[in-house]
Amino acid sequence: MTEAQVVRRGRGWVVAWKPAGALIDADPAREPDTVRAALAGALGVPFRACHPHTRLDQPVAGLSLWSIDSATRRSFVEATRRGAIRKLYLALAASAPSTGVLRLPAERPAWRTRAGRPLREVPETRIAVLAVRVGTVLVAAGITAGKWHQIRLHFASTGAPLIGDRLHGGPARVVREDGAVLAAPEVALEAVGIEFPDGGTATRVLAAPRSLVRDAALWVGLPAGAVDTEGVERAWTEVWGGS
């Protein structure tokens, strides 16, 4: 069963961590084992009151933002619409992607809303390369209102699909300089930072990675300081600036 792992709680909101493989949300009548159900139970709030505002793909680990009352939910929905919720991910790729701001190539089908309408703005992913070892590149990625597989598709579109992302052409293993091989059973992508409006100010929650991203990075010999809490803080500045 999925366990709720609360990282920080504020007035009307919670930031929780989910492991790769856990399902964020689903109809409880069909799939009761979700992060939403576990979090609602742990917090003692109704299932319907616990609402995710930053969703993660099932094979992706990391932080997610939740509202637990109606006023905060309305506030976060509006903040999402304005692009005021910022997120940071760490990822591993077998080669360096393009840096700067990534968008899907013009020839690929554009994302649409759930109602099937075109988006008002083209989704963007901000990219910064943090550390490189032969065959493995640690990258920071920043997005606001993320779309389905956004970061994964943006990396793949530059010819640098994420390690473990078989769906989008990523390698199924990490290969070290000495030829040793480490299997990648999940996508090497983890949400490590969220910033959101909170009572007239901005609250930022950062956490060091604890999934394949950390384990594989250390295994290939990337600097430990690139995947600890201070490394995440530096990655935030690389992607979003000092503000």
pLDDT digit string (tens) for 81-105?
Answer: 888 999 999 999 999 887 788 776 5
Residue 171 has pLDDT above 90, yes or no: yes
Beta strands in 75-124 (DSSP E): 86-93, 100-102
Placement of tokens 């993320």 in the chain: 146
- Domain encompassing residue 116: 5-240
For residue 106, the model assigns a pLDDT of: 44
Mean pLDDT across the chain: 89
Give the predicted TM-score (pTM) of the model. 0.91
| The two three-digit tokens of residue 37, written as one number | 């159900």
CB atoms within 10 A of CB 118: 9
The percent of residues above 90 in pLDDT, for the chain, comes to 72
Residue 158, pLDDT score: 87
Q: Report which of residues 7 and 28 the model is more confident about.
A: 7
Q: What's the total number of domains in the chain?
A: 1
Residues 6+ apart with CB under 8 A from 4: 16, 35, 38, 39, 41, 42, 43
Two structure tokens written together for 24: 């964020």
Which 8-state DSSP code applies to residue 172?
A: S
If DSSP codes are grouped into helix, strand and coil, which group holds residue 98? coil
pLDDT for 123:
78
Q: Which backbone phi and psi does 201 adopt, to 5 degrees?
A: -130, -175
pLDDT by residue (tens digit) across 10-41? 999 999 999 999 999 999 889 999 999 999 99
Tens of pLDDT, residues 62-80: 999 999 999 999 999 999 8
Residue 219 CA to residue 178 CA, distance in Å, equals 11
Q: How many CB atoms lie within 10 A of CB 196?
A: 24
Q: Read off the pLDDT of each residue in 50-70 and give the average, rounded to a whole number.
A: 94
CATH number reported for the structural domain that contains residue 231 in this entry = 3.30.2350.10
Q: For 119-164, write each residue's pLDDT tens digit.
A: 556 678 899 999 999 889 999 999 987 677 889 988 988 899 999 9
Segment 165-187 mean pLDDT:
94
What average pLDDT does the segment 164-184 reach?
A: 94
Q: How far apart are CA 13 and CA 25, in angstroms?
A: 17
What letter does residue 1 receive in the DSSP assignment? -
How many angstroms separate the CA atoms of 19 and 17, rounded? 7
Q: Closest Cα to residue 106, out of 118, 95, 122?
A: 122
Cα separation, 3 vs 89, in Å, equals 22
Contact between 209 and 185 under an 8 Å Cβ cutoff? The reply is no
Which of the two residues, 132 and 118, has the higher pLDDT score? Answer: 132
Q: Which residue type sits at 46?
A: P
For residue 142, the cross-strand partners are 88, 126
